[in-house]
Amino acid sequence: MPSLTKILHFLSSALVTAVSVAILAYAMSADWATTTMECTRQGSPFANGSAVVQLRLFQAAVQRIVCPAFGGEDTFEVFPKLVETGGAPVILHGLVLGLLALCLLCSLCSILISIYNSVSNPYETYMGPVGMYACSSLSACLAVLLIILYVVNLFATQMAEDLVQAFSGGIQAEFRNKSATMHVGFFLVIPYIVLSIIAIILIYMYDHAAYTHRREQQRPTEDAPKEIMMY
């Protein structure tokens, strides 16, 4: 049976990871970004309209004001609409969704490993602290990567413009002065990363203390004179 100290450390790590999963799950349903831009009919020198794209991970809304020749408001599923437009945005968005799924999977594995260690002593196996380090570290790294990919998709591609163009009734539009604002869903990935790191620290604190204790127990034997050890 594990010691009380080990039980507390591993259960605390499992609890912290569970909170991070809840935060990430909420983030997946919240607003991630709003993109605004000026819009005009192709070939016209004046921007006489505007469009606003409100983005979540799975759903979005486009509000058009005289863009490019009329206005309207449409809600839609993000990934299927990006598949219709094609190009880099659909690939990057698909990678973001895949990384989010992997983050959740790694966090769930971390929770299971932490709970298992709180009732057992699989110290020399992948189900010990090493497995927990691997799962939590991987989830944090993947979350950092998905943040980078999402920002690249939002600012470096024509994702928002393609989504507006998809509802322009076939009239070619030109866009300029695009700006984007990040929202709570995007920023909640940061505490998810921080909590994953805290979960690692909790296990490391116990692992380091246990290692130090084992070394102290071995030291008298290691430091004993050879004459004494012969008897």
Q: What is the Cα–Cα distance from 208 to 8, expressed in whole angstroms?
A: 15
Assess if residue 226 is contained within a domain.
no
**pLDDT in single tens digits along all 231 residues of the chain:** 567 888 888 899 999 999 999 999 999 999 999 999 988 887 666 667 899 999 999 999 999 888 877 778 889 999 999 998 888 999 999 999 999 999 999 999 999 999 998 888 776 677 888 888 999 999 999 999 999 999 999 999 999 999 998 888 778 888 888 899 999 999 999 999 999 999 999 998 887 666 565 666 666 555 555 444 433
Q: How far is CA 205 from CA 12, 15, 83, 210, in A?
A: 12, 16, 47, 9
Burial class (CB in 10 A: 0-12, 13-18, 19+), 19: middle
Rg of the chain in Å (alpha carbons): 26
Q: How many domains does the chain have?
A: 1
pLDDT for 231: 35
Residue at 76 is within a domain: yes
Residue 221 in any domain: the answer is no
The CA distance from 61 to 81, in Å, is: 11
Residue ranges making up the domain that contains 41: 4-207
Residue 219 lies inside a defined structural domain of this protein: no
pTM for the full predicted model? 0.85
Inside any domain, residue 217: no
Neighbour tally for 130: CB within 10 Å: 15
Q: CA-CA distance, 13 to 131, in Å (whole number)?
A: 13
Helix (H, G, I), strand (E, B) or coil at 34: strand
For the chain, report the end-to-end CA distance as a whole number of angstroms: 34
Q: 119: how many CB neighbours lie within 10 A of its CB?
A: 12
